[in-house]
């Protein structure tokens, strides 16, 4: 995330965009799952700040603290930073809110660090199934919201571990956690070649939700025979 995005988010929430800017921004949100996820996080931060600090003196004290932290850790010396709203300070300082308390943790890994969906290649030459074609094309183009209904249509006719797996990944990319985790749990309880991949994806779902303890517990169940076990070890190290 970066400062320009925070400003864009705030302008949208404050109603400071023109109609054209607003439409363009909403289009970006619908097409860019990463941007949409960051925007939701920003909204949550703003909401929690609003509800926690009801009095002006509390807000000013918090702003002063964040300014100090921001200058100390991020070397923000540009005048424009000083003029930002408190929400910008919170965002720029990467404030994590937990039960109304604010703390910093620069070591925690992020979902984006490990978000590398493999290429879908389940359509064979001569296939006439349009849902298969559309699902594969949309998935490989990163249009997961478009791919999801095609996967669902396929699964009604032919429920295979391969389609389930890519369906689950699409759900995860769109932050539909309960549905995605249900798919991954079903696969990891089976014996298909997608068993370990599903377990890894389940761990990433917990990581994306910042449920670090649950993420670690799931990672520890993955066999060392898993083809990408190097990533498992790396993530475990970063969670220490």
Predicted local distance difference test score (pLDDT) of residue 74: 45
The answer for residues whose C-beta is within 8 angstroms of residue 195's C-beta and 6 or more apart is 187, 188
Topology, domain 111-239: 1.25.40
Name the token pair of 100: 């109304």
Contact 236, 219 (CB under 8 A): yes
pLDDT digits (tens, 9 = 90+) for 44-59: 776 666 555 555 555 5
Q: What integer pLDDT is reported at residue 33 of this predicted model?
A: 78
Q: What is the pTM of this model?
A: 0.60
Are 6 and 42 in contact by the 8 Å Cβ rule? The answer is: yes
Q: Are 235 and 114 in contact (CB under 8 A)?
A: yes
CATH 1.25.40.10 domain position(s) in the chain: 111-239
Q: Which residues of the chain have pLDDT under 50?
A: 1, 69-70, 72-84, 87-106
With beta carbons less than 8 A apart as the criterion, state whether 97 and 53 touch: no
Give pLDDT, residue 38: 81
Q: Tell me, what's the pLDDT at 194?
A: 97
The reported pLDDT for the residue numbered 65 is 54
Give the pLDDT of residue 52.
Answer: 53
The predicted pLDDT at position 102 comes to 39
First to last CA, the chain: 24
Predicted pLDDT at 13:
85
Measure CA 167 to chain center: 17
180: its two tokens: 């995605």
Which DSSP category does 222 fall into? S
């Amino acid at each position: 995330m970066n400062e320009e995005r925070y400003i864009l988010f705030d302008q949208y929430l404050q109603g400071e965009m023109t109609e054209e800017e607003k439409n363009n921004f909403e289009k970006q949100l619908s097409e860019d799952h990463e941007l949409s996820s960051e925007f939701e996080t920003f909204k949550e931060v703003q909401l929690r700040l609003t509800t926690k600090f009801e009095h002006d003196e509390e807000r000013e004290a918090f702003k002063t603290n964040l300014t100090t932290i921001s200058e100390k850790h991020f070397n923000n010396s540009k005048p424009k930073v000083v003029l930002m709203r408190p929400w910008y300070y919170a965002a720029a300082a990467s404030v994590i809110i937990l039960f109304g308390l604010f703390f910093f943790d620069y070591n925690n890994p992020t979902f984006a660090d490990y978000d590398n969906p493999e290429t879908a290649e389940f359509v064979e030459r001569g296939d006439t199934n349009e849902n298969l074609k559309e699902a594969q094309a949309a998935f490989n183009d990163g249009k997961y919201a478009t791919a999801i209904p095609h996967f669902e249509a396929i699964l009604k006719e032919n429920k295979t571990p391969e389609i389930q797996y890519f369906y689950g990944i699409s759900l995860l990319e769109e932050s539909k956690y309960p549905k995605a985790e249900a798919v991954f749990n079903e696969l990891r309880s089976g014996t298909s070649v997608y068993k370990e991949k599903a377990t890894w994806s389940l761990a990433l779902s917990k990581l994306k939700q910042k449920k670090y303890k649950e993420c670690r517990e799931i990672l520890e169940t993955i066999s060392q025979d898993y083809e990408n076990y190097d990533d498992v070890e790396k993530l475990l190290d970063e969670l220490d």
